[in-house]
Amino acid sequence: MSPSNETAEGREAPLVIVGAGQAGAMAARALRELGHAGELVLIGDEPHAPYERPPLSKAVLADEGMPDIGLLPEPFQAQSGLALKRGRRVVRLDPARRELHLDDGGVQPYRACLLATGGGVRVLPALPPGTPGVHYLRTLDDARGLRAALRTARSLLVIGGGFLGLEIASTARALGLDVTVIELGPALLGRVMPPEASRWLATRVQAHGVRLLLGAKLSGLEAVGGGIAATLADAGELRAELAVVAVGQEPNVALAREAGLLIDAANGGIRVDARCRTSAEGVYAAGDCASGFDAATGTHRRLESWQNANEQARIAAAAMLGEAAEPPPPPWFWTDQFGCNIQMLGHGAPGLAYHLRGPLPEGREPGKAMLFGIDGDRLVHAIAINAGGDLRAFRNVLGRSLACAPETLADAGIPAKQLARLALGPASA
Amino acid sequence: MNWTRIAAVDEVEDDAGLPFKLDGRELALFRSGGEFFAADNICTHQYALLTDGYVEDGCVECPLHQAQFDLRTGEPRCAPATQPIRIYPVKVEDEAVYVAVE
């Protein structure tokens, strides 16, 4: 404990993390790895120790046994001296006094505080959580509830064809349920994938026996005896025993907003700088709740991804200790569904020219492919289908002007590493 | 030790891996920085062949979720893996690579 950090009472106030999800838990680990030996408090509103969320829509739903998804290894929990407060909610942040007020009336002082409050499910007013037969998926308890329901149901209606909805549909279909996915948009994942990839994925979803309705406008939605009835503007009525609503999430920013922190109007996240500092002294934010600075575009973005939570946790932890941190690697995302591991580097945008290093695997077949999204002569987006190892070679190419013709990227005859070297040009040698 | 010949030295490119089976186990021979390493080929996080991944600086990265393993120790270097992969003894003799699995 350094004397300069001590309060007037001679006791150093702890570092406190609000939110025990991916970002919160990884920040706790990073703070210890960076050598913070003083008090460290992690406050989470769930009853469980911190866990990974990506398996909730996959292994946790599919398996009878409980896969190990813990984020804090037992030795860390035992030896780190971390004060983990579970089932506890922070109700007020007072940045002027550097205090957090808890739902049990307690007051937690802090020297520096990290908001890693994540997000909550976006609710469909017609089917609020708690409606019989209706499920939302965000927490481990949500996943357990849905898993139990999937064991006995024969049919499932998934409302929302985003990443989460599709992963749940994939798992439920593998469990043998009759699955329908309804998506308001005209294309699957149309905001993050080019049309050829959207069409490919839609075909794959259907090849697995899932009924997929795109451009589906719901005109009615209600819980009926023994299930859910959905009325579509132009496709009549659908009935299923269960419904999962997966229409996105909302960042949890109430604490920050009420404390007067700057919230980004464009994306609803807590505005932070490149070091994850919010507009309030001593308060940091990371993960799904944060609107982070994207150096590549000079803009702020809120990213809901496992990688972003890890990276911002690492950067925020360093900043809380007054240390510099390496900048984050390019944005990276994965989804596992319908027998495919799909990964993305960078961000898609309208107007990119895509080059396919194919062919795209047909029907339910395995096989690998990549799509490269080019803006002018720069690679700004890359999609890999069952080709994560190949995609990895392009991490250094992202954002750079290509030293080869963009069409060259489509040449599947050139090994990925060699292709990446061609794209980087002599400068990479 | 019971050595088994796995490949000729020039069959494995640098910063790449070669899958092989021995005693019913799925194993991999990696080469990085000119050095050879033998390891389990299945990621400890989720089923995937590490030889489909990315090799660099004495480390292999899983193709599915970018978990990294140190090829000298087998220890995971980053999430999401938490358990190590096994590493096996390797020797190079007469331009061939041998592995001992016991």
Task: State whether residue B53 sits within 8 Å of chain A by CB.
Answer: yes
Closest among B50, B81, B64, B44 to A340, alpha carbons compared: B64
Lowest mean pLDDT among A1-15, A76-90, A251-265: A1-15
Residue B75: phi and psi, rounded to 5, are -70, 140
Residues of chain A positioned with their CB less than 8 A from the CB of B66: 332, 388, 392
pLDDT score for B60: 98
Rounded to 5°, the CA angle B92-B95-B99 comes to 35
Write out the two tokens for B26.
């799925």
What distance in Å separates the CA atoms of residue A200 and residue A10, rounded to the nearest whole number?
63
* A339-428: CATH architecture: 2-Layer Sandwich (3.30)
CA distance B1 to chain A (A): 33
Q: Is the pLDDT of residue A1 over 50?
A: no
* Facing residue for A341 by CB, picked from B15, B61, B64: B64
Residue A158: phi and psi, rounded to 5, are -100, 120
CB contact under 8 A, B64 and A387: no
CA distance A312 to chain B (A): 14
Lowest mean pLDDT among A225-229, A318-322, A337-341, A355-359: A225-229
CA distance A429 to chain B (A): 15
- Phi-psi sector, A45: left (phi>0), alpha (psi -120 to 50), beta: alpha
Which residue from A minimizes the CA distance to B55?
Answer: A389
CB contact under 8 A, B54 and A387: no
CB contact under 8 A, A54 and B80: yes
Q: Across residues B62-86, what is the average pLDDT?
A: 94
Lowest mean pLDDT among A40-44, A129-133, A311-315, B37-41: A129-133
pLDDT score for A257: 98
Same fold? A3-120+250-320, A123-247: yes
Superfamily of domain covering B3-100: Rieske [2Fe-2S] iron-sulphur domain (2.102.10.10)
Q: What is the mean pLDDT of chain B?
A: 95
Q: Across residues B74-89, what is the average pLDDT?
A: 94
**3-state DSSP assignment of residue A404:** coil
What distance in Å separates the CA atoms of residue A133 and residue A240, rounded to the nearest whole number?
9
pLDDT score for B87: 97
Higher pLDDT, A12 or A46: A46
| Beta strand extents in B9-79 (DSSP E only) | 16-22, 25-32, 35-40, 54-56, 59-61, 68-70
Pairing of strands A218-224, A227-232: antiparallel
Task: State whether residue B80 sits within 8 Å of chain A by CB.
Answer: yes
What distance in Å separates the CA atoms of residue A243 and residue A240, rounded to the nearest whole number?
7
pLDDT score for B102: 77
pLDDT score for A4: 39
CB contact under 8 A, B82 and A68: yes
Write out the two tokens for A315.
């950067």
pLDDT score for A390: 96
CB contact under 8 A, B66 and A59: no
Which CATH topology does A3-120+250-320 take?
Answer: FAD/NAD(P)-binding domain (3.50.50)
Task: State whether residue A59 sits within 8 Å of chain B by CB.
Answer: yes
CB contact under 8 A, B63 and A52: no
Residues of chain A positioned with their CB less than 8 A from the CB of B16: 417
Q: CB pairs below 8 Å between A and B: how many? A: 39
CA distance B64 to chain A (A): 6
Q: Is the pLDDT of residue B31 over 80?
A: yes
CA distance B2 to chain A (A): 32
**B 19-48: CB under 8 A from A:** 46, 48
Residue A165 CB: number of other CB atoms within 10 A?
24
Domain positions in chain A: 3-120+250-320, 123-247, 339-428
Q: Helices (DSSP H) in A286-356: which residue ranges?
A: 306-320
Q: Across residues A376-385, what is the average pLDDT?
A: 96
* A123-247: CATH architecture: 3-Layer(bba) Sandwich (3.50)
Q: What is the mean pLDDT of chain A?
A: 94
Beta bridge partners of residue A272, listed in sequence order: none
- Judge contact between A286 and A116, C-beta under 8 A: yes
- pLDDT tens by residue, B43-69: 999 899 999 999 999 999 999 999 999
Please compute Rg for chain A using Cα positions: 23
Longest dimension (CA), chain B: 39
Q: Across residues A72-86, what is the average pLDDT?
A: 92
Q: Is the pLDDT of residue A240 over 60?
A: yes
CB contact under 8 A, A392 and B54: yes
CB contact under 8 A, B63 and A388: yes
Write out the two tokens for A125.
């007013």
Which residue from A minimizes the CA distance to B56?
Answer: A393
pLDDT band at A427 (very low <50, low <70, confident <90, very high): low
pLDDT score for A226: 84
Pairing of strands A211-213, A178-182: parallel
- pLDDT tens by residue, A40-77: 999 999 999 999 999 999 999 998 777 789 999 888 98
pLDDT score for B74: 98
Domain positions in chain B: 3-100
CB contact under 8 A, B79 and A26: yes
CB contact under 8 A, A392 and B53: yes
Task: State whether residue B66 sits within 8 Å of chain A by CB.
Answer: yes
Q: Is the pLDDT of residue A321 over 70?
A: yes
